[in-house]
Structure 1
């Protein structure tokens, strides 16, 4: 079914700008959709890339437009021993796990050789929730510079867990000469910690723990924004649902005074 959304802002706005702010596509992609005759307002096809939508009008994307924008997105429970992106010789990329036999639920496996970059890497010796996607809008929401998404991890460490060390992990550490953003770090039980971050520097959690005298022996990512790993078995994958995609895009928008329209709903 087509995507449709009523424009509720008080002032007119260019269609391409509104679609971009809504998290539907980039401005360039919106202009391409308009050029292909795939965008309409109140039933009238939009022919001008500079067209503005007025308060109370309804914009619709044709089925073909919606399908082309969403792309392919897999939610994988990555085991240890697989690399997230392009591997060096002797290493196995996680995308090889996206087979029909490993699929949970309905859907089709991606074509062999499909380009599915990771949206937030997991090290080879880490496991858990990994998103592999050709969806540019979703990529911006998850790993873009303005993304406000939390990433949650369960981390088992060796060493003595003390409140002093937890305080440093939460606030006060630097990596590569740059101060880290505040992190939420708590004890789950024993030597298992919960980390909630809003950034993802290379091997960040392992390096943070090293700085306070702890060593990571297991790292499991359980959440990216509103998307949870849940009970997806290790080594298995499923397709991302449209409602999950919408929720991720909504959650990625930084809080602040700017009002950003919510993405169109599929009807």
Structure 2
């Protein structure tokens, strides 16, 4: 017999929302199991039971925003740390990109629960996703995420000669980090001092550590794409809304 699971976990598995959102909706009485309202946190359901949400939940979710920011150097992705400001402080009416094509109007309430869906180191720049939508956060940083991320990485070889072809192959597949083999990556030369990395995972400072393993020093790192969404012409320090037609 199949074991029951927490209702919030089941809602996340079904792609209805994040677990945090699920708990909020359960408390508000917006969730039904087999047609019956369930408002007790921690309630469990069987996989065959039908889970539905009230219209208010869908309406609230539709108002949640996802913002694309071109993060400059010197800002941290999440909470403020070591005197450095979080990237979210850059999101305001004045810093919105003039060429943003969405009709959405900015309101300070959009900053509430706006969290980074994936990190970008303090000394890295480029595309950072900030979202209020738990479904997008799960899609980008969930354990089973299949969304790839693309980076331009300026490097300097610290050993005599040039990077051997065998070490370029190791960057693509063959390195071990934190005791585990890294997933296959796609790493190619963009020009004589710049590599293009495409990854499907995001360990802390992964690219810098990968480069260090083969004698490369990272001079600059810029994220230019997450799944189907590109940084494009978005200026440094400015932001825009994710368009309705864009999908990660």
Query: Smaller-chain TM-score range?
Result: 0.7 to 0.9
Structure 1: gaps of 5 or more residues: 1-15, 41-45, 54-58, 249-267
- Give the 3-state SS of the residue equivalent to 1:102 in structure 2: coil
- Aligned counterparts, 1:102-251, within 5 A: 102-104=95-97, 105=100, 106-111=104-109, 114-159=112-157, 160-244=162-246, 247-248=247-248
What is the Cα-based RMSD across aligned positions, in Å? Answer: 3.1
Go from structure 1 to structure 2 and tell me whether the alpha carbon gap of 1:36 and 1:91 turns closer, same or farther (over 3 Å shift): closer
- 2:72 is the counterpart of 1:84: no
TM-score by length of 1: 0.71
Go from structure 1 to structure 2 and tell me whether the alpha carbon gap of 1:229 and 1:67 turns closer, same or farther (over 3 Å shift): farther
Whole-angstrom distance in 2 between the partners of 1:94 and 1:29: 23
Go from structure 1 to structure 2 and tell me whether the alpha carbon gap of 1:243 and 1:164 turns closer, same or farther (over 3 Å shift): same
Whole-angstrom distance in 2 between the partners of 1:151 and 1:96: 24
Go from structure 1 to structure 2 and tell me whether the alpha carbon gap of 1:233 and 1:176 turns closer, same or farther (over 3 Å shift): same
Whole-angstrom distance in 2 between the partners of 1:210 and 1:162: 14
Instruction: Give the conservation status (yes or no) of the 8 Å contact 1:79–1:126.
Output: yes
Whole-angstrom distance in 1 between the partners of 2:164 and 2:54: 55
Quote the offset at 1:133 in angstroms: 1.4
Whole-angstrom distance in 2 between the partners of 1:82 and 1:169: 28
Go from structure 1 to structure 2 and tell me whether the alpha carbon gap of 1:187 and 1:109 turns closer, same or farther (over 3 Å shift): farther
TM-score by length of 2: 0.77
- Give the 3-state SS of the residue equivalent to 2:60 in structure 1: helix
**Number of residues of Structure 1 aligned to a counterpart in Structure 2:** 223
- Give the 3-state SS of the residue equivalent to 2:94 in structure 1: helix
Partner of residue 59, structure 2: 67
Go from structure 1 to structure 2 and tell me whether the alpha carbon gap of 1:123 and 1:22 turns closer, same or farther (over 3 Å shift): same
- Give the 3-state SS of the residue equivalent to 1:243 in structure 2: coil
Whole-angstrom distance in 2 between the partners of 1:109 and 1:119: 20
Whole-angstrom distance in 2 between the partners of 1:113 and 1:26: 18
